Structure 1
């Protein structure tokens, strides 16, 4: 039986919205203090570098277009919107991979495996090559180059994960250790291709402790996003499977004469 599209999209949108909200709150409570510190450090560094330009010229003060509280609210809203968009993409990818459902399907296991693979392909592998940097770090003239490199890393991660899945499927007649070793070799090859990409074109003039904490929290937010997504999507899949399961037949009670 083919996978119904609309219920799948509804579950994926619900999972994306909840996951985006959880990630936005996580970033607001834990990552935003680090971002504030990074912004203050960047502003101080920029002011020091351009202090000599202020001599003999009128210094102009620019107010923030949005207050920090408004930016914090926007962070959560943006995270929810991004989660919904992710839900649409996830539904399309899930429908392409799992085109048919069978009576023995396990929606919970499928959700966990699929989201784990998505986390590795979209978040972990690209993040190993290009770790997240605090806001304000980097030359504005290299934004396009950095975005292109990140997009290339994501594409390579997705293709590497698809290749690993194909290798595992095509070696179905081999023993489990052979299949696992083949997948591990594919993952190592994907990492090799990733690290063949050019490095970050900008320096990161941030304290090592602050940079490490920010990168750990960034990766943690990605892990939380996919974990919550998997949990909600899997739970809704179990609920849908229970509703569509045929009702158990009640045996007729014989009447003795």
Structure 2
């Protein structure tokens, strides 16, 4: 059954990638073009020689973007299905659709939104090349901490459920997660490397488009996979009940 869920997770991820590619082309790429134009203008003003274009902008915004988004979404859908296979019937007693939707929401918050609050996505021309390694390390530290805190909060809610009920235990665990994340984000160093002349509108639109791209991916995976998983579990219901009972 896990294999069937994995295949359907990758199918949901593939569909999410196709939708996300269309979203990125319409809302994300125009902001990238504005940022590149700003970068070229600043380079010319500084008298710097333009670097040779190894990959054309058309390829980057077309085939390159399509390949990257679709491969990422398909892989994410597969990982999502494995997490679902572990969580459903163990972490909660919700239906497959509800479990998939909650996992998608939790994944978006922990993997995308929380790290982006501290270290938001930046377009070209924003950020110094000298600090890219440090910025990458800090972003992944925030990502790992967020995912680990979510796992700990889920375990806390499970332990408190018998004594406080499902709703109260979820509120307590959620509050603990928020307090811990706020503390970590306060302690981690901030990075401010936006050029003074850079358009705040372009920066805002790029960051909104980046978050929206992931909204499309996670929402599509959560909803589509929930429907597909429900059908798989319905066809394997006797064996699945026996497995979860063990």
Q: What range is the shorter-chain TM-score in?
A: 0.7 to 0.9
User: Once superposed, what is the RMSD of the aligned Cα atoms?
Assistant: 2.4
Alignment: residue pair count: 234
Distance 2:115 2:195 in 1: 18
How much has 1:63 moved relative to structure 2? 4.6
What's the CA shift for 1:177?
3.8
Report the Cα distance in structure 2 between the residues aligned to 1:65 and 1:208, rounded to whole angstroms.
Answer: 29
* Alignment of structure 1 residues 153-164 onto 2, 5 Å: 153-164=142-153
Which residue matches 1:123?
112
Give the distance between the partners of 1:8 and 1:217, measured in 2 at CA.
Answer: 30
* TM-score (normalizing by structure 1): 0.82
Q: Which runs of 5+ in 1 are unaligned?
A: 55-59, 247-257
Verify: 1:93 aligned to 2:90, yes or no.
no
CA contact (8 A) 1:156 1:194 kept: no
Structure 2 counterpart of 1:12, from 1, 5, 9: 9
1:20–1:80 Cα contact (<8 Å) kept: yes
Matched residue, 2:138: 149
1:193 aligns with 2:190: no
Instruction: Note if 1:226 corresponds to 2:223.
Output: no
210 and 226 in structure 1: CA distance in 2 versus 1, 3 angstrom threshold: same
Contact 1:28 1:76 in 2 (8 A): no
TM-score (norm 2): 0.85
User: Structure 2 CA distance, aligned partners of 1:114 and 1:120?
Assistant: 10
After superposition, give the CA deviation of every residue in 1:54-89 in whole Å (9 maximum; x if it has no partner): 6xxxxx665522322211221011100111221233
Q: Hey, what's the Cα distance between the residues in 2 that align with 1:61 and 1:110?
A: 51
The aligned counterpart of 1:183 is 174
Aligned position for 2:155: 166
Per the alignment, do residues 63 and 193 of structure 1 end up closer, same or farther by CA in structure 2, a change over 3 Å counting?
A: closer
Paired with 2:51 and 2:151, the residues of 1 have a C-alpha distance of: 49
Of Structure 1 and Structure 2, the greater helix share is in: 2
Is the contact made by 1:167 and 1:182 (CA closer than 8 Å) also made in structure 2?
yes
Residue ranges of structure 2 left out of the alignment (5+ in a row):
239-246
